[in-house]
Amino acid sequence: MATQVEVQRPKLFAFVLMIGGFMGLFSETALNMALTDIMADFQIEAALAQWLTTGYLLTMACMVPISAYLTKWFSTRTLVFAGLILSLVGVISGALAPNFGVLLAGRVIQALGTGLLLPIMITVLMLIFPLEKRGAVMGIMGLVITAGPAVGPTLAGIIISASSWHFIFWISALLYIVVLCIALTTVENVAELTRPRIDIISILLSTLSFACLIFALSSMGTASLTQWIVWVPLVVGIISLIVFTLRQFSLNEPMLNLRVFKYPMFTLGALLVFLVILCILSTGILLPLYLKGALLFSSVIAGLILLPGNAVNLLLSPVVGSLFDRYGARYFCIFGFATMFIATLIFTLTISTTTPVWIIICAFMLLFVGISMVMMPAQTNALNQLPQALYADGSATITTLIQVGGSAGTAIAIAIYTNHMQQVTAAKAQLAPEAIVSSGIQFTFIFICAITVIGFICALFIKKQKQV
């Protein structure tokens, strides 16, 4: 049975971490609704603008494995404050950005901060709350992980309509300052510092593999697989990832302890979380494009259309967390993926230039019913299989998969969408731009629908096991 670490204010401690994590994850997709405005302000193309999202996710994907070292070298308090300060510097840089380069740099700095906060959040929550309350707490954390990127376009649309995209950053800065003030009296050191030997080769291999893979996937939107800009980084990324994995198993003190995968239910849970994030982030970037580019809604209306789905997530995640403590993960995950399949199938079959808004709203709500039932149970059930000594490694591994899944989901969705639109444009040049956008979105949802089928099949193999 895991040992609970006593802290003076566990709820406020959790609040600081969750709000910090929420702001970072909110920023993953917040600019999706503002990309057209940013393109106009800085006179850039969509292929370059998308790096505001892809670059953010890529930085986090590279940062999270490194944070596995940092959590063993530096105190919890130091890392939390470093994460919050980096995030604050990043959003202020974005708010004041005179050009695209500074804006992108600000996004990278904020991503570095979020990459520190997320693994800490998961590990700390596993340590400061007893096992019997863990489901409810992780349910709220699951809400943070899913609601952050999901609500980004909604809130951003409202902010843009009221002022400009700069205020997305200013509002974030204000919240970071508030959280920093609360953190001064609530954050405590809880993790044991082991200070393992730092393996520079592992750091280089992980950074190279994730960077190359995400770059290759992003490049597929404008280039074919046969072009060197796609296949060269793809091959380098795959080889680097294989070498990185083999190296982690050969080290006594690995950068990312992949031995957590020897626990079958952890492996399965991590896979399910990865698939859910693929769905969330790909849907999160596609629907704003559809609502604004095909149905011609304004940013604020498009954001409000997505609001009911986010509300469902807000209401269900804590409930599922509480019920998880009694019923476990299996049935939640099976029913959740079945529900996600129905929702994505509705999108696949109905999306057009004349689709009634109520269908989009209902399908999006249904999608988040399923997501709420999978995200927390899958993650908590996975981590519950690990001994306490592996919590940090397990949380770092899952958080890495979340960021890689988010990056991959965004990149793959944009690549499929862009390539299909190019094919439709070449074959049917007479089609209106709205119809071309709609066709691209509809075709891409076939990919998301397939992901939910894979998730459903995997969920059938979940077994309830006792915590190690």
- Convert the pLDDT of each residue in 8-26 to its tens digit: 777 788 888 888 888 887 8
Q: Does 311 reside within a domain?
A: yes
- Kindly state whether residues 303 and 231 are assigned to the same domain: no
State mean pLDDT over 244-248: 90
Looking at the chain, the number of H-run helices and the number of E-run strands are: 16, 0
Reduced DSSP (H G I as helix, E B as strand, rest coil) percent helix, strand, coil of the chain, to 5: 80, 0, 20
Nearest to 218 by CA among 57, 90, 13, 366: 57
- Kindly state whether residues 245 and 272 are assigned to the same domain: no
At 197 the three-state DSSP class reads: coil
State mean pLDDT over 377-383: 87
- Kindly state whether residues 330 and 275 are assigned to the same domain: yes
- Kindly state whether residues 30 and 118 are assigned to the same domain: yes
* Cα–Cα separations (whole angstroms), residue 73 to 35, 69, 70, 79, 195: 38, 6, 5, 10, 5
- Kindly state whether residues 277 and 208 are assigned to the same domain: no
Per-residue pLDDT tens for 144-187?
Answer: 766 777 677 778 888 887 888 888 899 999 999 999 998 888 87
pTM of the predicted structure, to 2 decimals: 0.79
Burial class (CB within 10 angstroms; exposed 0-12, middle 13-18, buried 19+) of 31: buried
Q: Does 4 reside within a domain?
A: no
Q: For residue 1, what pLDDT is reported?
A: 40
Q: Does 466 reside within a domain?
A: no
- Kindly state whether residues 431 and 450 are assigned to the same domain: yes
Q: Which two tokens stand for residue 53?
A: 């999202």
**Final residue of a structural domain among 228, 252, 276:** 252
- Kindly state whether residues 156 and 287 are assigned to the same domain: yes
**Final residue of a structural domain among 252, 276, 295:** 252
- Kindly state whether residues 262 and 329 are assigned to the same domain: yes
Q: For residue 274, what pLDDT is reported?
A: 92
What is the pLDDT confidence band of residue 467, given thresholds at 50, 70 and 90? very low
Is a pLDDT exceeding 80 seen at residue 349?
A: yes
Q: For residue 132, what pLDDT is reported?
A: 64
Give the helix ranges, DSSP H, for 220-329: 228-250, 264-293, 299-327
- Kindly state whether residues 166 and 230 are assigned to the same domain: no
- Report how far residue 90's alpha carbon sits from residue 437's, in angstroms, rounded to the nearest whole number: 33
- Kindly state whether residues 236 and 292 are assigned to the same domain: no
- Kindly state whether residues 224 and 203 are assigned to the same domain: yes
Q: Does 281 reside within a domain?
A: yes
Nearest to 390 by CA among 71, 82, 174: 71
What CATH number is associated with residue 407? Answer: 1.20.1250.20
Per-residue pLDDT tens for 64-111?
Answer: 677 767 777 888 888 889 999 999 999 999 999 999 999 999 999 998
- Kindly state whether residues 208 and 263 are assigned to the same domain: no
Domain count, the chain: 2
Q: Which two tokens stand for residue 155?
A: 């809130």
Q: For residue 268, what pLDDT is reported?
A: 94
Which residue range is the domain that position 233 belongs to?
A: 197-252
Query: What is the Cα 371 distance to its own chain's centre?
Result: 13
